[in-house]
Amino acid sequence: MLKYNTTVIAIYVERYDKTNYLNISEKSNLQKKLLDASLLCYDYKLFDYNSYIEEFNNYKLSTSLKDIDIYEVKKIQDIVSVKAKAYVSSKSDTMKDWNQETFYNLNFFLENKGFCAYLINYIKEVETHIKLSNDDEEHHDHHLH
């Protein structure tokens, strides 16, 4: 498997696979190692780790990664564009009747930082769908940046 695919899979795994309020701080620190440091300065939901940790702790959340599909890879000079879809299941220990299924379609831009070392230096949210267990409607966020 190519190193940039491994980086994209790792960010999804560290963010969503077997993540819960007990290990969220540790998993957030592992995610940060995959990102260019400049991204951590942005007030964007994928990089706002303090709010993310607080939300997990307040609602005793846990997530599991159901599937990842890397469906497009393009190399543009020193940048590699990787498009990947992921399906995530979330539940809460405090809200027993609540659960959420989320579909993420993200475009990762990775920069080669040396011999087979890639860091994510931008993430574009292509599309997100959220389905709540007590909700027959599916919610769509279409972000075009």
pLDDT digits (tens, 9 = 90+) for 91-123: 999 998 999 999 999 999 999 887 778 899 999
3-state SS assignment for residue 9: helix
Rounded Cα distance between 111 and 109, Å, is 7
For the chain, the structural domain boundaries read 3-141
The class that CATH gives domain 3-141 is alpha beta
Residue 83 confidence (pLDDT): 97
pLDDT band at 145 (very low <50, low <70, confident <90, very high): very low
Range in 8-12, 19-23, 36-40, 132-136 with the lowest mean pLDDT? 132-136
pLDDT band at 47 (very low <50, low <70, confident <90, very high): low
Alpha-carbon Rg for the chain, nearest whole angstrom, is 15
Residue 46 confidence (pLDDT): 67
pLDDT of 9 above 50:
yes
pLDDT digits (tens, 9 = 90+) for 48-97: 777 889 999 999 999 999 999 999 999 988 899 999 999 999 999 999 89
In the sheet that holds 138-141, the strands lie side by side as 19-20, 61-76, 79-92, 99-112, 118-132, 138-141
Does the CA dihedral 99-101-104-110 come out positive or negative? positive
Residue 78 confidence (pLDDT): 84
3-class SS shares of the chain: helix, strand, coil, % to 5: 25, 45, 30
Two structure tokens written together for 115: 């011999």
Give the closest residue to 98 by CA, choosing from 68, 132, 49, 71: 132
Residue 69 confidence (pLDDT): 96
